[in-house]
Structure 1
Amino acid sequence: MSETLQKYAKFPLLAVIFTVLVKLLFLLTHHIQEDAFITWRVAQNLLDYGVIGFNGETKISASTTHLYVFVSYIFNLIFGKENFIYPLLIFNSLLFTIGSYFLSKLILENPLHQAIFIFLFGILPPSIKISILGMEYGILFFLEMALLYFGFKQNKIWAQILFPILILFTRIDTVIFLGIVFLADIIWNKKIRWFYILGGILGVVVLMSFNWFYFGELVNNTIVAKSVTYAKNMSLALQWKYFLMNYGNFWGMLKLPGDFNPFTILVLFFELLAFLYIVSKRESKNLFIWIIFLFGWTKQLIFISQRSYFDWYYWVPQILLFAVILVFVLEQKTYKLWWISLLLIFYILPMAAFQTVHSIATGNGEWNYRRSIGLFLKDYEKDKNQYILLEPAGYIPFFSGLKAIDEVGLVDKEIQAEIKKDKANYWKNTVEKRKPKYLLAPKNLFEGKDGSFYQENYQLLKEFRIKNHLNSDNKILEKIYRLKPSGTDYNLYERK
């Protein structure tokens, strides 16, 4: 490294610290993903019953991620059930940002450029969500970038064996990432890394063995439940409608109301141009540019083809595809400051502002509103062995402490059998058969064809309305709440 670059050597690590501190401000929004509470409930179930499950001693892989369950378990053990959330979110933010540090080392040579990249990359909306929403993607991004940095840039054998095991134990769909890395490396280097193959084989064996010997299944229950519940035979017109509603998730980062989002097309266009410009130069770093770009496209196309519309599936591909634009801008020889200024003023800062508004509004709708339902039930029902039938199974079971039956079957396998048997009537059939003490529904159950059944067996306990949670002493917050109200109206019923 030249003497000029040497003086910037510490800048990337300083950028990691600064970026984490900036992102910690988003913790004030209380924007935490519903599914994170499912994983945390599983971790606490392990703590209380010594069983990986959701409802007492019943074993079930209710969380998509095994590794993150164990990490959450450790944080519960150290900090306690009441205090583990924010230390864990800070840990996730730190891991993700260290992952971006590894990525900067892979695709940029100048330490000053790496530092700028870490910060700009870290305040993109998907990066913020990966860091603070409580899901497993912070640890996953760290592991994936660590694999590339230690396993392929530094050619460490231990990394080629260890990281595939940890990555697959975090999420089973990471076979896509591991496969793209394998193929790109063979084509680029014209050789096979046998230790990496060993790591991949061990990863599959460890994951499948754990699933089989502990849960009696090869594939996580969450995947099975979603495949059973969600519609597969949609018409082409309906598929196109859902695609338009969700395509802002796929290549862009800004999901605006309405079907057409021109920003997504613009981002996609510049990503392609930047990628072609960078790979036209034959440089060693291009292996990693190819890997992140091919992975971003491959994962998105696979999940789009499977009609997977949950936005968190696309967070990592979104930021990896955008990384090439940052590399393109930072490596400009002339007018570099202008390029960076334009990117900041017209894209990065507006995106961060949008995410701030989104996080404040969503945090209100979930932490302030949905959590309040759980807290109401926690005080109202002292017998924590009682069941509630609802959807989704995150905030409310976690904060109420009640056992849960969710409509999708993520946390309860019995409802999957009802869905297979009679999908049109599985909700009522479950209520008839299981007799849960509480029902939480986004509609009036006393109306419709089964209204008389519910009136005979249940009474309305309380109505929860999002409009009652759009007020704040802070007028700016109140305007944001009303600008983007987040939440669903619910009726809570108790069995007579």
Structure 2
Amino acid sequence: MSETKNKKFPIYAVLVTVVFKLLFLLTNYIQEDAFITWRVAQNLMDYGVIGFNGPVKISASTTHLYVFVSYLFNVIFGKEHFIVPLLIFNSVLFTVGSLLLSHLLLKNHRHKAIFIFLIGILPPAIKVSILGMEYGILFFLEMALLYYGFFKGKKWALILFPVMILFTRIDTVIFLGIVFLVDLVWTRKIRWLYVAGGIAGIAVTLAFNWLYFGEIVNNTIVAKKLAYSKHFTFEQNLDYFRLNFGNFWGMLKLPGDFNPVTVAILIFELLCFVYLIRHRNKRNVFLWMIFIFGWVKQLVFLSQKSLFDWYYWVPQILLFVPVLIFILEQKEKRNLWLSLLIMVYIVPMLAFQTIHSIATGNGEWNYRRTIGLFLNKYEKDKNQWIFLEPAGYVPYFSGLKTIDEVGLVDKEVQEEIKKDKPNFWINTVKNRKPKYLLSYDDLFKSKNAEYLMAHYRLIREFRVKDHLKSDNKILEKIYILKPSGTDYNLYERIDR
């Protein structure tokens, strides 16, 4: 086959990978927090304000760039039809990002094609592409920076991409910083345009926060730090890290304190990385960049007790890259190595993610969404308030104004937490008098039962067990095998 046709293999791989992953749209597995960003985007449409509840400005979403992208998709496709096009867009961008990464690390076009497909069907890659979060865009921007800025030496890329990356998420300063340090050690030169791009990115993001919201750091960061902060001793911090690293460092979560699958893969990733960098190669600088970033990002976020899955998706992908390169470049028994990888790891991981997506999609879309749809019909006055946690599906599909228990979408909760953290919930109820309360607990058996029974009535119970049935027996078995969701009780205020 001609070299020209070989060059098309990576492009074909991109198309095949995107189409393959679109099958996961059928699972309806969309991350709760995506609906926060999408509601912010729709709030911008309806009120001309980046907020969550009408004309009140608040950075309720962690990502500014993705809010504007979501806004454009809402404008183009409408509120009822923008989700699928946006998810396809995210999937395409992630897969193009993996194409750029393959250009950085591989020369053989067949190897690039296999690399793109296998990376694309790893569990975190599927979640990056399909779950509606900003990481598909972010992965593309980060790989575009490495490819155009550092591989191709395009000066414009060193300015543009850092600004876009930081405007997507401010914590990407970790990625940009690691890239700068590795490049500095490797070339023994400072790329001043890149430094300027980083400074410009920080300045643009912080200036936008200050000028628009009147704050330096995104409200979401402040709210989470305030709500989830705990004082740990050094020993407690070590125990916390030990108990959680296995389930966030690797691609497979297992019950218990020790995850042997993660440890085995982690060791293999390290061995493959060491083997690859032993050989002098221009690509090694990029291997150092992505591998050190993967380690640092994981260590920083786990040490800060940030246990949200999405923080770890991109590092999980990048840490696995040396494994694929090592196997693809084996000169002897390559097919055996590749077959073992696919059968022993890739296929089981894909099966695990498929079951997880089907079960979680049922718990989120078929269950939690129904609470929002019920409220949408039950309460016609969309100026009424609901107090709940989390602030994704139910506020989005109900259309009600929302107070969330963390304070992501309502700053007054943060003030209550500062004043009296143990009693902030009941104080918020008494002071704000929201019409609806949605709780995991039976509030009439809580320590505040007397007040709540005097002012609220239970109007409906929502139970996970009621959503574990399906006409399709295979789906029903999956639902029962891995029930997803939380039982809720919905209360309505009886005096105003």
What TM-score bracket applies, with the shorter chain setting the length? over 0.9
1:141-191 CA-to-partner distances (Å, cap 9, x unmatched) read 000000000000000001000000000000000000000010111111111
Retained in 1: the 8 A contact 2:359–2:484? yes
**Does the 8 A contact of 2:440 with 2:487 survive in 1?**
yes
State how far apart, in whole Å, the 2-side matches of 1:357 and 1:122 are.
17
- Show CA shifts across 1:302-344 (max 9, x none): 1111111111101000000001100100111111101110000
Q: How does 1:52-91 map to 2 (within 5 A)?
A: 52-91=50-89
Shift of 1:237: 6.5
The match for 1:213 among 190, 211, 214 is 211
The alpha-carbon deviation at position 251 of structure 1 amounts to 2.5
Aligned to 1:229: 227
Question: Any idea what the Cα deviations from partners look like across 1:89-123, whole Å, max 9, x if unmatched?
Answer: 00000000000000000011111100000000000
Q: What does residue 437 of structure 2 align with?
A: 439
- The 2-side partners of 1:242 and 1:31 are apart by 29
Output the amino acid matched with 2:465: K
The aligned counterpart of 2:173 is 175
Counterpart in 2 of 1:40? 38
Whole-Å separation in 2 of the counterparts to 1:40 and 1:144: 23
Match of 1:461, SS state, is strand
Which structure 2 residues correspond to residues 150-169 of structure 1 after superposition, within 5 A?
Answer: 150-169=148-167
The 3 A distance-change label for structure 1 pair 249 and 173 is farther
Q: How much does 1:236 deviate?
A: 5.7
AA of the residue aligned to 2:93: L
Is contact 1:102-1:145 (8 Å) kept? yes
Q: In structure 2, the residue corresponding to 1:82 is in which secondary structure?
A: coil
Q: Does residue 475 of the first structure (1) align with residue 473 of the second (2)? A: yes
CA distance in 2 between counterparts of 1:331 and 1:216 reads 53
Which of 337, 346, 350 is matched with 1:339 structurally?
337
Deviations 1:431-469 (A, max 9, x none): 000000000000011113210000000000100000000
Structure 2 CA distance, aligned partners of 1:234 and 1:474?
48
CA distance in 1, matches of 2:235, 2:32: 30
1:35 and 1:389 map into 2 onto residues whose CA distance is 17
- Find out whether 1:323 has 2:328 as its counterpart: no
Alignment of 1:485-496 (within 5 A): 485-496=483-494
Instruction: Give the drift of 1:224.
Output: 0.2
2 CA distance for matches of 1:237 and 1:471?
45
- The normalised TM-score by structure 2 is 0.98
Give the partner amino acid of 1:436. P
- Secondary structure of the residue aligned to 1:405 is strand
Deviation at 1:405, TM superposition (A): 0.4
Within 1, Cα distance between the matches of 2:240 and 2:387? 27
Alpha-carbon distance in 1 for matches of 2:255, 2:2: 48
User: How many angstroms apart in 2 are the aligned matches of 1:4 and 1:274?
Assistant: 32
Give the root-mean-square deviation of aligned CA atoms.
1.1
Q: 2:392 aligns with which of 369, 394, 398?
A: 394
Distance across 1 between alignment mates of 2:339 and 2:322: 17
Partner SS for 1:383:
coil
Q: Which amino acid in structure 1 is aligned with residue 389 of structure 2? A: E
**Displacement of 1:249:** 3.8
What is the letter of the counterpart of residue 409 of structure 2? V
The match for 1:356 is: 354
Q: What's the offset of the Cα at 1:238?
A: 5.4
Alignment correspondent of 1:96:
94
Q: Deviations over 1:51-91 (max 9, x none)?
A: 00000000000000000000000000000000000100000
Identify unmatched segments of 5+ residues in structure 2: none
Aligned-residue offset at 1:247 = 2.1
Corresponding position of 1:451: 449
Matched residues, percent identical?
69
Alpha-carbon distance between aligned partners in 1 of 2:387 and 2:240, rounded to the nearest angstrom? 27
Cα deviation per residue 1:375-412 (whole Å; 9 max; x = unaligned)? 00000000000000000000000000001000000000
Which 4+ residue blocks in structure 1 deviate beyond 3 angstroms? 3-7, 234-245
Amino acid at match of 1:206: V
Q: CA distance change for structure 1 residues 114 and 38 in 2, over 3 Å: closer, same or farther? A: same
State the partner residue of 2:196. 198
Measured after TM superposition, the shift of residue 6 of structure 1 is 4.2
Distance of 1:461 and 1:417 partners within structure 2 = 30
Look up the equivalent residue of 2:105 and give its one-letter code.
I
Secondary structure at 1:422's aligned position in 2?
helix
> Residue type matched to 1:271 in 2?
E
Match of 2:379 in 1: 381
Summarize the Cα distance change of 1:236–1:476 in structure 2 as closer, same or farther, 3 Å threshold: farther
Q: Deviations over 1:346-377 (max 9, x none)?
A: 00010000000000000000000000000000
User: What is the rounded CA distance, in whole Å, between the counterparts of 1:12 and 1:25 in structure 2?
Assistant: 21
Cα deviation, residue 38, structure 1: 0.2
Is the 8 Å Cα contact of residues 249 and 314 (structure 1) preserved in structure 2?
A: no
> After the TM superposition, which of the residue ranges 240-249 and 210-219 deviates more from structure 2?
240-249
Partners of 1:251 and 1:292 lie apart in 2 by 15
Question: Quick check: 140-149 or 245-254, which moved more?
Answer: 245-254
User: How far apart, CA to CA, are the structure 2 residues paired with 1:215 and 1:192?
Assistant: 34
Matches of 1:405 and 1:150, distance apart in 2: 43
Structure 1 residues 245 and 356, CA, compared in 2 at 3 Å: closer, same or farther?
farther
Question: Are the counterparts in 2 of residues 251 and 267 from structure 1 also a CA contact under 8 Å?
Answer: no
Alpha-carbon distance change, 476 to 245 in structure 1, aligned in 2, over 3 angstroms: farther
Q: Cα deviation per residue 1:19-73 (whole Å; 9 max; x = unaligned)?
A: 0000000000000000000000000000000000000000000000000000000
Instruction: Report deviation, 1:246.
Output: 2.9
CA deviation after TM superposition for structure 1 residue 245, in Å = 4.6
Give the letter aligned to residue 248 of structure 1. G
Distance across 2 between alignment mates of 1:4 and 1:108: 19
Aligned partner of residue 72 in structure 1, secondary structure: helix
Q: Equivalents in 2 of 1:74, 1:275: separation in Å?
A: 41
User: Quick one: distance in 2 between partners of 1:229 and 1:64?
Assistant: 16
Of 389, 402, 405, which residue of structure 1 is paired with 2:403? 405
Q: Is the contact between residue 247 and residue 259 of structure 2 (CA under 8 Å) also seen in structure 1?
A: no
Greater CA drift, 195-204 or 42-51: 195-204
The letter of the residue matching 1:274 is: C
